[in-house]
Amino acid sequence: MKITKVEAWPVTMRLTAPYEIAYETVEETVNVFLRLETDSPLVGYGCAAPDAMVTGETPETVLETIRGNADAVLHGADPLRRAVLLEELCEAARKEHPSALAAVDMALHDLLGKIAGLPLWQLLGGYRESIVTSVTVGILNERETVEAAREHIARGFRCLKLKGGRDAEADAARVLRVREAVGKDVELRFDANQGYTPEGAARFVDLVRAASIELLEQPTPREALEELGWVTQRVSIPVMADESLMNLRDAFRLARQNLVDMINVKLMKVGGIAEALQVNGVARAAGIEVMVGCMDEAALAIAAGLAFALGRPNVCYADLDGHLDLIGDPSAGAVLLRDGVLYPSERPGLGWEPCR
């Protein structure tokens, strides 16, 4: 089998409601879809969700990478030689174009599943059949935060991730109000998106002790690893790295220096499923738990993250809600959501084919 055509195109999707995090307000997202045709009836699909603040990419740079380097490597190649193809792309793409690499990796894995006639989550290990996902509440005032939390609980979600990072005292007040509103049986997670000083993070944890939050995500700036480690050693809840974990080398550095309790692995940051499996291996060896996270991603990309999560026992948590508020997602339905639990498609590969 040979790849005969590499095609990529951007899709702009507005959000049903804009949301705020510590450093920006998001109203829409652009994903780049990838199609790999072969000399058989099988076609592989992937999706990139570039983010200038996180991955350092734009839709334009992703398209340029796919139509340039990726096309040169993939055209005429055997898609089953995935390791060779990704290695040829990795040297240039891993650091500078991780979401473009993720889209290629995703499409190759999709083809693998279709060739085997099996869902990708089974090929990756099939450790579990579904996983609970958190749903995100952006930075709002106290009343709006409580209203949003109640709406999510009414839709069946059992785990909420609250955003903050601008003011530890105000953030703590919102968390405590949400705990009071939703009761003790709902899991609460908090993401500071790099917004705190170490002292601010410690103060926040002290203030929210009564809320029993499950974890604190990326409290300090991404490059300030000593500060991140300081928080991890001093607070009473697990601390997770997100923006500080961009690649395999970061995973090794965080693990070797005992800087965090958990890491958030996003396919768009690390460059796809193959690299995520490597990162997960480092984490498991170090006794670090893993969450699979996402950007503002179409359901196709969420399906790839879900397959990774379902395949590996060390991936204990999921934050795969990036597709829920997108208007005009062409891959809607690639994953199934019931009462806050994500289920994969039972079709081969990632389980999605576009309507024609």
Catalytic residue numbers, as ranges: 163, 191, 217, 242, 266
Handedness of CA 274, 56, 36, 309 (dihedral sign): positive
Distance CA 123, CA 121 (A): 6
CB 239 within 8 A of CB 261: yes
Distance CA 258, CA 39 (A): 49
CB 240 within 8 A of CB 212: no
Residue 34 DSSP SS3: strand
Q: For 293-323, give the DSSP string.
A: --SS--HHHHHHHHHHHHH-TTEEEE---TT
**Directed axis angle between helix 82-96 and helix 273-286, to 10°?**
80
Q: Is 98 exposed, middle or buried (0-12, 13-18, 19+ CB in 10 A)?
A: buried
Residue with tokens 């891959």: 331
Q: Using the 8-state DSSP alphabet, how is residue 175 labeled? A: H
Question: For residue 172, which of 136, 133, 134, 145 has the smallest C-alpha distance?
Answer: 145
Residue 354 region, left (φ>0) first, then alpha (ψ -120 to 50), else beta? beta
Helices within 117-197 (DSSP H only): 120-123, 142-154, 168-182
CB 224 within 8 A of CB 35: no
Question: For residue 350, which of 338, 336, 339, 334 has the smallest C-alpha distance?
Answer: 334
Residue with tokens 């995935």: 82
Residue 350 DSSP SS3: coil
Residue 166 DSSP SS3: coil
